[in-house]
Amino acid sequence: MKILHITYSMGYGGIETMLINIVNEQIKENHEIHVLTINDIVDTKLVKRLDPRVKFHCIKRKVKSKNILDILKLNNYIRKYNPDIIHTHTSTIIKYIFPPFRKKVCTTQHAMCRNTDAKYLAKSTHVFAISNVVKESITTQINKHVDVVYNGIPINQIESKKHKEKPSTFNIVQVSRLFHDVKGQDIIIMAARHLKENGYTNFHIDFIGDGDSKEYLVQLVEKYQLSDLISFLGSKSQEFIFKNLSQYDLAIQASRREGFGLTVAEAMSARTPVLVSEHPSLLEVIDQGRYGYYFKNYDPINCAQRIEHIINNPKERLDIAEEGYQRVCQLFNIETTAQKYIEYYNKIIEKTDASYKK
């Protein structure tokens, strides 16, 4: 099967990380796979993580450019390659694909569906959602069948915790873009402030990631004199994260908005306990609290209370983390994700061939 994946960029982000993992798994089945990026945002370190058999191409469009030549380059590539399946990873990409090619297009919606997304998803032959919550956000806006394919992670690449309790500092991590309006780092900082005011100082929080909110978040840490308790480690490679997640006693995801929560699943696969905001997509990952902890949305005091509970109940958190590891192995394995997409591709091709014969 000839598969063409299209995305806007190849920079550090959830979509790009997921895409690399999927194509590296799909290529093992001897499919011919191309990855095409539209914009000129390409991190060569990420490209090098692609299996050498995957063909990578970049249109090199300037972000938000309306140059018709870029659209022609994209469609000429499709015409030349003639893929069996075109898999786009952002809804709006389909507007650049000429109508004759759209019968081959399937799209994965990686975030909650907005009005703009719904408009373009309606043009796609087949739509995937990364969670049931995302699926519901689509189907309430357009009358279209949507299949859920959970994002998968390469579990065998993630070092897993050996359950030995550390007697010293309780180490906490959040892995996410520093974009507090979405990812909620400010909530975690305010929770740390509350813990400190209540006499808890034997913890440390690492934020892994970069983004537009860094200056604001650093100022917030300095304002409440939390610099000894909170560090900003910047962006780290997937290899670094997979190697070090198991060294933490707790991973927090405090998102205000989230489509799935890939970093939560990654922490669970390291047997690291997780604490998430009470967002439906994150609760879906931990099965409503069965495989992890959660706190009230936007509530730093309740977040602090849950951290305090987790610190004081080591056996409980490790038992839950072990059960969470088993859940990830069953539902969120990259091998399962890649195989499900292949199965759906075959169904789409059968329908497309049938429509051409008519």
Mean pLDDT (whole number) for 69-89: 98
Question: How crowded is residue 84: how many other Cβ atoms within 10 Å of its Cβ?
Answer: 17
pLDDT greater than 90 at residue 167: no
Residues 249-295 have pLDDT tens digits of 999 999 999 999 999 999 999 999 999 999 999 999 999 999 999 99
Q: Based on the domain organization, do 123 and 168 belong to the same domain?
A: no
Q: Based on the domain organization, do 202 and 217 belong to the same domain?
A: yes
In angstroms, rounded to a whole number, what is the distance separating the alpha carbons of residues 298 and 295? 9
Q: Based on the domain organization, do 325 and 218 belong to the same domain?
A: yes
Lowest mean pLDDT among 12-21, 62-71, 235-244: 12-21
* 102: DSSP letter: G
Structural domains counted in the chain? 2
**What SS3 state is found at 105?**
strand
Q: What CATH number is given to the structural domain containing 315? A: 3.40.50.2000
Q: Based on the domain organization, do 37 and 177 belong to the same domain?
A: no
Q: Based on the domain organization, do 307 and 165 belong to the same domain?
A: yes
Name the H helices within 90-201. 115-121, 132-139, 180-183, 185-197
- For strand 274-277 and strand 293-295, is the pairing parallel, antiparallel, or unpaired? parallel
Q: Based on the domain organization, do 255 and 340 belong to the same domain?
A: no
Q: Based on the domain organization, do 339 and 303 belong to the same domain?
A: no
**Can you give the pTM of this predicted structure?**
0.89
pLDDT greater than 80 at residue 356: no
Q: Based on the domain organization, do 92 and 169 belong to the same domain?
A: no
Q: Based on the domain organization, do 100 and 135 belong to the same domain?
A: yes
Helix axes of 14-26 and 334-357: crossing angle, nearest 10 degrees:
80
Q: Based on the domain organization, do 189 and 318 belong to the same domain?
A: yes
More confident residue, 161 or 238: 238
Q: Based on the domain organization, do 198 and 303 belong to the same domain?
A: yes
Residues 301-351 have pLDDT tens digits of 999 999 999 999 999 999 999 999 999 999 999 999 999 999 999 999 998
Host H or E run for residue 109: strand 105-109
* Residue with tokens 């989230």, as numbered in its chain: 258
Its domain, for residue 144, covers 2-152+333-357
Q: Based on the domain organization, do 177 and 302 belong to the same domain?
A: yes
pLDDT of amino acid 165: 59
